[in-house]
Amino acid sequence: MKQSYIYFLLVTSVCFAQLKPPSNLQSYYTGVNFNNTGVDLFNDLAVITASKHTNYLTYTPGIWEADKITDEDPTNSSNVLLIYGYNDDDGNYVTDRTRSKALNGGNSGDWNREHVFANSLASPNLDDSGTNVPPYADAHNLRPSDVTMNSNRGSLKYVDGSGNAKNISGNWYPGDEWKGDVARIIMYMYLRYGTQCIPSYVSVGTTNSIDSNMINLLLDWNAEDPVSVIEDNRNTYHGNATNTYAQGNRNPFIDNPYLATVIWGETIAQNRWNTLSTNDFTDSDFKIYPNPVSKNYFNIKTNQLLKVEIFDILGKSILKTQVDSNNSKIDINRLTKGIYLVKLISDKGSVTKKLIKQ
């Protein structure tokens, strides 16, 4: 494991985009070295996430009241959104996507608090220290859910699937709309509570080559399902410790899903910060096309000389060349199908972009 981290740190320091939080988050992330990768970045983020968790909510009434604020339906302020829900018009309340805030409770037709990282799948259980303290009462892990839908999920592990939420051979698919939310919550719980909340305890799939505690399925979901308005609303509310039912800490993987890529590799997630090496080199200076590419070449539209270096997903440099306005074609005949990172370097700076060869 230690050797794997050393290798990962060496390669990611070369190929991953430089990270810098936007101005509104720079104060929050003071002390995090975003030049770090792998376990070093994970540890920096873990310290911030724990130290900023200054307000410990009670499970009752704290989480009830917090969820009514953070999970408010953007289209109807009287309702909350229900995780795993998908249809308000099929006549089946179990599948409802929204419900009145006032209908919180434990009866059929009510909504209650779903532990995305299930209580009994943690080791020790989330309620080992009691129900009115974290991690059992961590608001980042608790989402409104229909009572019956919550029961249907129970303590089933997450598994790959498609479409709406459902039981798949004794495991649980959260639904296309919610799989990214689930992934980022599990990453948060691992960051915040360490070995008590290992991702492999709660999800089924291939083990990550960098960190055997991580499941690659979660990294796929993090990339495939972008951050939602509700996730941002929850993060903004809880990140402000002056709010009545706020914890004071944020989920870094909601702020920027790309942090997961820098830590664990695998599927490249959206870089919401999209910071370049300098303030001068911008996306308008070039265009990669076609992308995805099905032929043995692609082009870079540019009006300047660019050095080009292509890396595979593990960070290994596999091609170096250069282009300018007169010579823009890149021969990728020897590249197999897959995802690559293309690093473009000019006298203004550098930027890294994803390329898919089909």
Question: Do 144 and 110 meet the contact criterion of CB atoms below 8 Å apart?
Answer: no
Q: Which whole number is the average pLDDT over 73-86? A: 96
* Cα–Cα distance measured from residue 274 to residue 199, given in angstroms and rounded to the nearest whole number: 27
Q: Which pLDDT score is estimated for 17?
A: 61
Percent of the chain predicted with pLDDT > 90: 69
Question: Do 274 and 16 meet the contact criterion of CB atoms below 8 Å apart?
Answer: no
283-357: in CATH 2.60.40.3080: yes
**Structural domain spans, the chain:** 2-264, 283-357
Would you say residue 16 has pLDDT above 70?
A: no
Q: Which pLDDT score is estimated for 96?
A: 97
Q: Which pLDDT score is estimated for 345?
A: 75
Distances, alpha carbon 67 to alpha carbons 59, 71, 72, 100, 138, in Å: 11, 5, 8, 12, 11
Q: pLDDT category, 12, cuts 50, 70, 90? A: very low
97-119 residue pLDDT tens:
999 999 999 999 999 999 999 99
**Which residue has better confidence, 38 or 306?**
38
196-243 residue pLDDT tens:
999 999 999 999 999 999 999 999 999 999 999 999 999 999 999 999
Q: Which residues are paired to 300 by β-bridges?
A: 288
Q: Which pLDDT score is estimated for 245?
A: 97
Distant-in-sequence, close-in-space partners of 332: CB < 8 Å, separation ≥ 6 = 293, 296, 297, 298, 310, 319, 357
Q: Which pLDDT score is estimated for 349?
A: 58
